[in-house]
Amino acid sequence: MLADDVQLRVHEFYPGGVRMNKYVFLFLTLLIAMNLSAQTTIVLPDVQKPHQIAVDGNDLYVFDEADYSLHVYTISPFVPKLKFGRKGDGPHDFKYLPYVYIQPETLACTDFTKIIWFSKKGEVLKAMEFSELKDFDLNSEMLLIPVKDHFLRITADHDQMKRHVYLLDSKFKTIKNLYEGPFVWQVGSATDVRTDTLSSQGLVFIADTQGFRITVFDDKGNLLRTIDKSRDVEEIPNRALLHQYCVSDGKIYATTYKKKDNQTEMIILDLEGHILRRLYLPLASIRPKRGVVRYDLYTVDQDKLYELVQDSETEKWELWITDLKQIH
């Protein structure tokens, strides 16, 4: 099928040159073969409805929305490692959609109502209900994300339609407000306007997806820089400039809504905001109607792209691993 597609495109660009068709076809076929060789596919038979993927070294973490369980795998050689967590009303259960944040020694999981710390063997270490916080607001959704010895408190106020990101100390006392902006919400909305906040490498990254702006703070809340690449990104009608991003190994991997040959643009930057590379990737893991609280099922670690993709025939979920260094 790939060869047929390539041959069709060659004839479209060189309708009258048979010899040119042959050489161009061979070149493009070789190029595609090189890119395909950069990809590994692994079936995940026990995953039903993944909603988050995270990678830390040789460990893969997948949260399953079907039962709110966290699946952990060893990547190489690939083998299931453990599974823990469940949906429920118990003190160590998840009531709403949970997310995992990988720490050096623990796994912090939060579900809008509580935060639970697990050991990397899946044992519950401690848990805290958000209602224990002195200034807890029932009208605001809330996530709590560790950043070194501090925490990020991310709130979404449905009454005021405001999004805030606060920095808390180790005792959950508010140190400062890092961000205030609009909270765009519609039931079932697939809006592009989001505030995506990450904690990585001891730093805080807050992105305004309406522009291509990522503000970087240290763990004490000091502003380090604002990366604004809005002028370097092609504007797509009725779409945001920034689609999604992750941070790994001193680099920012950001995707936009620009397409080229039906492939998605990925921009790789250093932490100072300098553009290192631009790639175009198939990114079969993108979900057009992901909504405002979900993310597309891909991440990057050590220059490798990890995606969760559902096979349309078997309906099994697969892990696709692509070596970005081999993509040209």
Confidence at residue 30, expressed as pLDDT on a 0 to 100 scale: 40
Whether 228 is in a domain gets the answer yes
Say if residue 140 is in the same domain as residue 33.
no
Say if residue 33 is in the same domain as residue 137.
no
Say if residue 144 is in the same domain as residue 249.
yes
Whether 159 is in a domain gets the answer yes
Say if residue 137 is in the same domain as residue 278.
yes
Confidence at residue 17, expressed as pLDDT on a 0 to 100 scale: 40
State the pTM of this model. Answer: 0.86
Say if residue 15 is in the same domain as residue 149.
no
Say if residue 143 is in the same domain as residue 20.
no
CA 85/CA 118 separation, integer angstroms: 10
| CATH code of the domain containing 190 | 2.140.10.30
Least confidently predicted of 35-49, 96-110, 118-132, 299-313 = 35-49
Say if residue 139 is in the same domain as residue 255.
yes
Residue 23: band (very low, low, confident or very high) from pLDDT cuts 50, 70, 90: very low
Say if residue 31 is in the same domain as residue 140.
no
> Is the predicted pLDDT of residue 172 greater than 70, yes or no?
yes
Say if residue 151 is in the same domain as residue 289.
yes
CA 180/CA 217 separation, integer angstroms: 15
Say if residue 25 is in the same domain as residue 142.
no
Whether 77 is in a domain gets the answer no
As given in the structure block, the two tokens for residue 196 are 């995506």
CA 189/CA 291 separation, integer angstroms: 5
Looking at the 3D structure of the chain, how many domains does it have?
Answer: 2
The residues facing 101 across adjacent strands are 108
Whether 4 is in a domain gets the answer yes
> Is the predicted pLDDT of residue 225 greater than 50, yes or no?
yes
- State the DSSP string of 97-115: --EEEE-SSEEEEE-SSEE
Whether 276 is in a domain gets the answer yes
User: Cis omega (within 30 of 0) on the bond before 77?
Assistant: yes
Domain range holding 173? 133-296
> Is the predicted pLDDT of residue 66 greater than 80, yes or no?
yes
Mean of pLDDT over the chain: 86
> Is the predicted pLDDT of residue 187 greater than 60, yes or no?
no
Whether 69 is in a domain gets the answer no
Residue indicated by tokens 């492939």: 263
Say if residue 176 is in the same domain as residue 283.
yes
